[in-house]
A = this chain, B = another copy of it.
Amino acid sequence: MLDPVSLAALRAFYARVGREMAPNNEKQAWFPEGAEVLPNPIGTAPGFMLEVGSVVFFSLPGVPRELVRMVDEQVLPRLAARRGQSEVVRARLLRTFGMGESNLDDVLKDIAPGGDVTLGFRTAFPDNYLRPLARAKSAAEADAKLAHVCDAIRARLGLLVYGEGPETLESVAGALLRAQHKTLAVAESCTGGLLAERITSVPGASDYFLGGIAAYANSAKEALLGIPRSLLEREGAVSEAVARQMAEGVRARFGADVGLSTTGISGPGGGTKDKPVGLVHLALADAAGTHADHFVFALDRERHRVLTVQLALDWVRRRLLGAPLDAPTILRRKQ
């Protein structure tokens, strides 16, 4: 059957974006006889539910963001209603950075001893997420159990827990900058713009982020950050001295409260015996001075950059919280 509501929505979508609707798009408004149409709030193809005997079929678009939203909004409530669900399940998500999953498991193994609260783990490199899940007769009761276990986890892990739910390291660091009326600028070599990109992925980042310089070529480090050529030649671009001057230089050029820099060898080429692939120097400059450190991450190019950026953001967070930067925030020992 052709669903006139879906067809009208399709035509409206194409009219709105000023594109011509291809004739084969009309098939998105056709459904099996007897199906209940499930509207798609963020795409053109609706889904449908169809009962055949005692079996319920759901058909949904495959685009991940559409699928996930429709499962949450359309499928799960219908399934819960059919089961006459009496038990309430609630979950929270705590985000950690700086400790491996196995170690977290060890440290937290006694934290959810009962059967009504379980602790799930999920890795999203380089972070680890903790997902306590509680079952109870009511949402309030489940939430109280969750609050209890989350407090216990935070007490045990301290600053390793950087946020909860949708919070990211960049949103948490950004909120601290905003609250303390401080501004940030970054100078990137090996991370090539990823650090700035992560910071500006947060809506409203212009409140505290002034900008960044991806100084990829040595000529750019000289001209835009004021690093002396003699220093680049003597120490090399990947060195503590250059990282320090990059952080201080970008802080001065942008007139920022905090300057942050990365310089390293992401690979796959470019390593030497003294400076292997995976080496990275970071520096953070603010009114209190400049802190620098270096690490070796035995990772591929992409993950080297991701981990370096996460570490740099964690430094901003820890500095603004008044915590030391030599805390155990690292997954690999430094060289």
Residue A161, interface by CB 8 Å:
no
Q: CB distance B203 to A192 under 8 Å? A: no
**What is the CA–CA distance of A83 and B18 in the complex, to the nearest angstrom?**
51
Residues of B within 8 A of A100 (CB): 19, 22
Q: A106 on the interface (CB 8 Å rule)?
A: yes
The smallest beta-carbon distance between A63 and chain B, in angstroms, is 7
| B123, A63: Cβ atoms closer than 8 Å | yes
A136 on the B face (CB < 8 A): no
Is A302 engaged at the interface, CB distance under 8 Å to the other chain?
A: yes
Q: Is the CB of A197 within 8 A of B203?
A: no
Complex alpha-carbon distance, A220 and B332, angstroms: 36
Contact A216:B205 (CB < 8 A) given known A100-B19, A197-B197: yes
Whether B210 pairs with A216 at a CB distance below 8 angstroms is yes
Closest chain-B Cβ to A270's Cβ sits at a distance in Å of 8
In the assembled complex, A298 has its CB within 8 A of some CB on chain B: yes
Chain B positions within 8 Å of A302 at CB level: 201
The answer to whether the Cβ of A284 comes within 8 Å of any Cβ in the partner chain is: no
Is there an interface contact between A16 and B212, defined as CB atoms closer than 8 Å? no
A301 at interface (Cβ–Cβ under 8 A)?
yes
Assess whether A209 is interfacial by the CB under 8 Å rule. Answer: yes
Q: How long is the Cα–Cα vector from A214 to B192 in the complex, in angstroms?
A: 11
A residues 209-262 in Cβ contact with B at 8 Å: 209-217, 219-220, 223-224, 253-255
Q: Whole-angstrom distance between the alpha carbons of A219 and B209 in the complex?
A: 11
A160 at the interface (CB under 8 A from B): no
| A329 at interface by CB-CB < 8 Å | no
B-contact bits for A182-207, CB 8 A (1 contact / 0 none):
00010010011111111111011110
Alpha-carbon distance A216/B186, docked complex (angstroms): 11
Partner of A269, one of B23, B203, B216, B333: B203
Instruction: Give CA–CA (A201, B191) in the complex, Å.
Output: 9
**Closest Cβ–Cβ distance, residue A191 to chain B (whole Å):** 8
- Chain B residues lying within 8 Å of A255, measured Cβ to Cβ, are 219, 223
- Does A102 count as interface, using CB distance less than 8 angstroms? yes
Chain A contacts with B in 70-110, Cβ cutoff 8 A: 100, 102-103, 105-106
26 residue pairs from A and B, CB less than 8 Å apart: A17-B298, A18-B332, A19-B100, A19-B333, A22-B102, A22-B106, A24-B105, A193-B194, A193-B196, A193-B214, A196-B197, A196-B216, A197-B214, A200-B216, A203-B269, A204-B269, A211-B220, A211-B224, A212-B216, A213-B224, A219-B255, A220-B254, A223-B253, A223-B254, A224-B253, A224-B254
**What are the 5 closest A-B residue pairs judged by CB atoms, nearest first?**
A192-B200, A193-B196, A193-B197, A193-B193, A211-B220
